[in-house]
């Protein structure tokens, strides 16, 4: 396979860092950009000394990191892009926490819409760009109460976070139609796996089970989600970056929904602790959608893709990561730390 120059925006994020690892393993040269310096290597799979999955290790000699804030350093980012001239840009950058988007909505619109539009308006004038992958979210659809949905643009977002992502998606669609901007959209189910931020439901439940420190379950945990292992999602994202047609949208999901409550019960059982000893029920968060059921038939048929890591296997791998770093993880914040 021909090596490409790939620039990853939001490379410190959970998905971004795993994408970097996948791209490096595939032999590509990768430039990573995030607003902060690289976090502890425990959260960066491309820095891990061995592969938890047994797959080949990432070669970090082909990785170049730059701390650049999209909101305040667009000029520096464009200078880097013009110097590197990447054929592919994959963008994971976004203000991503849903509940907190009600508290500081302007921060979400600034990062997820205004700064993104400025970036895209510059990128559309770069002739070396072959593909731009915009990693977006199923939350643009609102709750999928009528069952599994295929890819479409009939959005019904219910939170400032979701509204900001829907607005950016529609803006990119207009750029594709007007300028032929080579955008590809991905919308993934709930990703999880080793290295995930500790405030996310799976690592948080595992930490609570291991330490006895209680956690809250919004609305009793009866909302339903599909959980896709990060390796499955990022392998698909890399393939779409290289092979998908501009203007296309793809759902990345398993076909096995589970309620958040049942998921945490499964984790507690695996850890040998009582659910009641770990979980405190709390009120539902504002704008919470009941379900996101993404029909992934399109990528399965077009690319013969399928998810390979079962939830049981993925939980085993993630718990091994938590247990292997438990002393360190206990000292780190378990709650979301907002950055403007």
Give the pLDDT of residue 1: 56
What pLDDT does 301 receive? 98
Report, as an integer, the average pLDDT of 17-34. Answer: 97
Mean pLDDT for 25-50 is 94
Among 28-37, 209-218, 274-283, the range scoring the smallest mean pLDDT is 274-283
Percent of the chain surpassing pLDDT 90: 83
Report the pLDDT value the prediction gives residue 172, as an integer from 0 to 100.
98
Residue 70: which pLDDT band, with cuts at 50, 70 and 90? very high
Contacts 24+ apart (CB under 8 A), 301-307: 303/236, 303/239, 303/240, 303/243, 305/236, 305/239, 307/228, 307/229, 307/232, 307/253, 307/254
Q: pLDDT by residue (tens digit) across 255-303?
A: 999 999 999 999 999 999 999 999 987 777 676 778 899 999 999 999 9
Model confidence at 218, pLDDT cuts 50, 70, 90, reads confident
Overall average pLDDT of the 304-331 stretch: 97
Mean pLDDT of the chain: 93
Least confident of 47-56, 147-156, 292-301, 310-319: 47-56
pLDDT of residue 220: 85
pLDDT value, residue 212: 93
Would you place residue 6 in the very low, low, confident or very high pLDDT band (cuts 50, 70, 90)?
very high
Of 104, 30, 21, 96, the C-alpha closest to 57 is 21
With cut-offs at 50, 70 and 90, classify the pLDDT of residue 340: low
User: CA 185, 191, 197, 200 torsion: positive or negative?
Assistant: positive
How do residues 50-67 score in pLDDT, each as one tens digit? 655 555 556 678 999 999
Q: Give pLDDT, residue 304.
A: 98
Cβ neighbors of 269 (< 8 A, separation 6 or more) are none
pLDDT band, residue 184 (cuts 50/70/90): very high
* Residue 181 near residue 175 (C-beta atoms within 8 A): yes
Query: What pLDDT was estimated at residue 219?
Result: 83
Candidate from 83-92, 221-230, 307-316, 328-337 with smallest mean pLDDT: 328-337
Query: Are 5-193+227-256+295-303 and 201-223+257-290+310-329 in the same CATH fold?
Result: no
> What is the domain partition of the chain in residue ranges?
5-193+227-256+295-303, 201-223+257-290+310-329
| Contact status, residue 103 vs residue 250, Cβ threshold 8 Å | no
Contact at 8 Å (CB) between 135 and 176? no
pLDDT for the residue 2: 79
At residue 58, the pLDDT reads: 60
The distance between the two most distant Cα atoms of the chain, rounded to a whole number of Å, is 58
Among 185, 181, 103, 184, smallest CA distance to 140 is for 185
CA dihedral defined by 175, 120, 89, 71, rounded to 10 degrees? -150
pLDDT exceeds 90 at position 99: no
Question: What pTM value is reported for the model?
Answer: 0.95
Q: CA dihedral in degrees (243, 244, 246, 251; nearest 10)?
A: -150
Residue 102 pLDDT class (50, 70, 90 cuts): very high
Question: Across residues 213-227, what is the average pLDDT?
Answer: 90
Q: What is the pLDDT of residues 252-261, one digit of tens each?
A: 999 999 999 9
pLDDT digit string (tens) for 108-132? 999 999 999 999 999 999 999 999 9
The reply to whether CATH 3.40.50.720 applies to domain 5-193+227-256+295-303 is: yes
Percent of the residues in the chain that have a pLDDT greater than 70, as a whole number: 95
pLDDT at 59: 67
Which CATH architecture does the domain made up of 201-223+257-290+310-329 adopt?
Alpha-Beta Complex (3.90)
pLDDT at residue number 139: 94
């Amino acid at each position: 396979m021909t090596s490409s120059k790939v620039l990853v925006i939001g490379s410190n994020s959970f998905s971004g860092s795993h994408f970097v690892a996948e791209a490096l393993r595939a032999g590509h040269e990768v430039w990573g950009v995030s607003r902060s310096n690289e976090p502890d290597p425990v959260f960066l799979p491309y820095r891990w000394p061995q592969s938890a999955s047994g797959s080949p290790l990432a070669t970090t000699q082909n990785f170049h990191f730059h701390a650049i804030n999209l909101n305040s350093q667009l000029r520096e980012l464009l200078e880097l892009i013009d110097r590197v001239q990447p054929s592919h840009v994959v963008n994971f950058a976004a203000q991503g926490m849903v509940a907190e988007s009600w508290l500081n909505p302007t921060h979400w619109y600034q990062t997820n819409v205004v700064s993104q539009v400025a970036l895209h308006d510059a990128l559309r004038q770069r002739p070396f760009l072959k593909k731009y992958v915009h990693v977006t979210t199923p939350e643009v659809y609102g709750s999928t109460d009528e069952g599994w949905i295929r890819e479409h643009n009939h959005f019904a977002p219910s939170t400032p976070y979701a509204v900001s992502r829907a607005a950016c998606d529609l803006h990119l669609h207009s750029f594709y139609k007007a300028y032929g901007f080579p955008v590809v959209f991905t919308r993934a189910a709930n990703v999880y796996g080793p290295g995930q931020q500790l405030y996310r439901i799976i690592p948080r439940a595992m930490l609570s089970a291991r330490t006895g420190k209680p956690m809250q379950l919004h609305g009793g945990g009866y909302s339903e989600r599909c959980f896709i292992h990060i390796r499955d999602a990022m392998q698909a994202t890399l393939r779409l970056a290289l092979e998908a047609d501009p203007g296309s949208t793809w759902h990345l999901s398993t076909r096995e929904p589970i309620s958040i409550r049942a998921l945490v019960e499964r984790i507690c059982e695996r850890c040998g602790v009582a659910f009641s000893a770990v979980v405190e029920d709390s009120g539902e968060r504002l704008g919470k959608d009941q379900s996101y059921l993404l029909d992934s038939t399109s990528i399965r048929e077009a690319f013969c893709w399928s998810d390979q890591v079962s939830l049981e296997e993925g939980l085993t791998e993630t718990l091994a990561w938590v247990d292997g770093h438990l002393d360190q993880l206990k000292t780190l914040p378990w709650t979301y730390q907002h950055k403007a």
